Chains A and B, each alone.
Chain A
Amino acid sequence: MKSRVSLALTELCIMLLVLAFAAALCLRVFLWADETARQNTARDAALIHMQSVAELLKVTGSPEAVATQMSGAQRSGHWYIPAETYEIRMLPAEASGEALGSVYLEAVYQDTVLISFPVSWQEVAP
């Protein structure tokens, strides 16, 4: 009887170890999935935000005016617009051809660049 209980105890201990290992793997994957989903949500929101910033740049013709309108600020030579989970940076870029101005837009989430593209604008529409 005693040996049977001991056997059951040993069996349970081994199962517990296996479970702990599997749980650690599962939790790591869960955390990764959660973080990836958070990042994807931020990317979606940032893309719409960046589209609005690009449109406003075309209307105002100035990153400063856009930053002021969207509660942004200036930091180390570039304007940025903070959002809940990410920030949009307007990095200075050289305007080429007929463009009046040009910036490089970047959406940054926890030091990771999610999306980036250049925006140039010509004459402001009357």
Chain B
Amino acid sequence: MRENGKAKALTVTAALLVFVVFAAGILSVLLSGAGVYQRLTRRGSLSYANRTAAQYLATRVRQSEAAPLTGEFGGGDALVLSQTIGTDEYLTRIYCYDGWLRELFTPAGGQFAPEDGEKILPLAALEIEAGQNLLTFRLRQEGGPETVLSLMPRLREGARP
């Protein structure tokens, strides 16, 4: 009778143990799946943000009528593109302020605050170096690696240097 009871207890313990292994297995597969998904989306969104910001800057430099200039605006580096509409001169400043890549299109000589700029893309930092025939942009997303983009500005025929 006692042996019967022992055997029953052993069987129940074994069933419980197998159940614990089963539960732990399900949990670990779910957790590893969630971890992979999280890494995947994080990498994807960082990559998208870097690529889009870099290509946006490249496109703006390529579209520029005059030679792109660099300056300071909002406490950081800014890309300054000038454009003449009619007889008036306008400036487009592209800069990073308050966690955003921003663009501000204004008449030349006007006084504007950095927060007036249109938010384009999230960006943590932007550094611009102007060398001989070469513009180098260093972009960084929050918690992401630095992306370096070098561009040789090309001027269209008849453009102002």
Contact = CB atoms under 8 A, between A and B. Distances in A.
A98 interface: no
A84 interface: yes
Interface residues of B, number: 40
Nearest to A56: B150
Interface string B95-114: 00000000000000000000
B7 interface: yes
A5 B10 CA distance: 10
A125 B152 contact: yes
A6 B15 CA distance: 8
A37 interface: yes
Interface string A6-26: 101100110110011011001
A2 B5 CA distance: 10
Nearest to B131: A59
A41 B26 CA distance: 30
Given A16-B22, A19-B25, A5 B8 contact: yes
A48 B11 contact: no
Contacts of B32: 26-27, 30
A9 B133 contact: no
Interface centre among A9, A13, A55 (most CB of B within 10 A): A55
B22 A37 contact: no
A45 B147 contact: yes
B25 A9 contact: no
A38 B43 CA distance: 8
B39 interface: yes
Contacts of A89: none
Contact of B29 (A12, A27, A44, A125): A27
Contacts of B21: 16
Given A1-B8, A55-B152, A59-B152, A48 B54 contact: yes
Nearest to B48: A44
B44 interface: yes
Contact of A55 (B39, B132, B134): B134
Given A5-B11, A26-B29, 9 more contacts: A23-B29, A34-B36, A37-B43, A44-B47, A47-B51, A48-B147, A48-B149, A55-B151, A56-B150
6 contacts: A2-B8, A34-B39, A38-B43, A51-B58, A56-B134, A125-B133
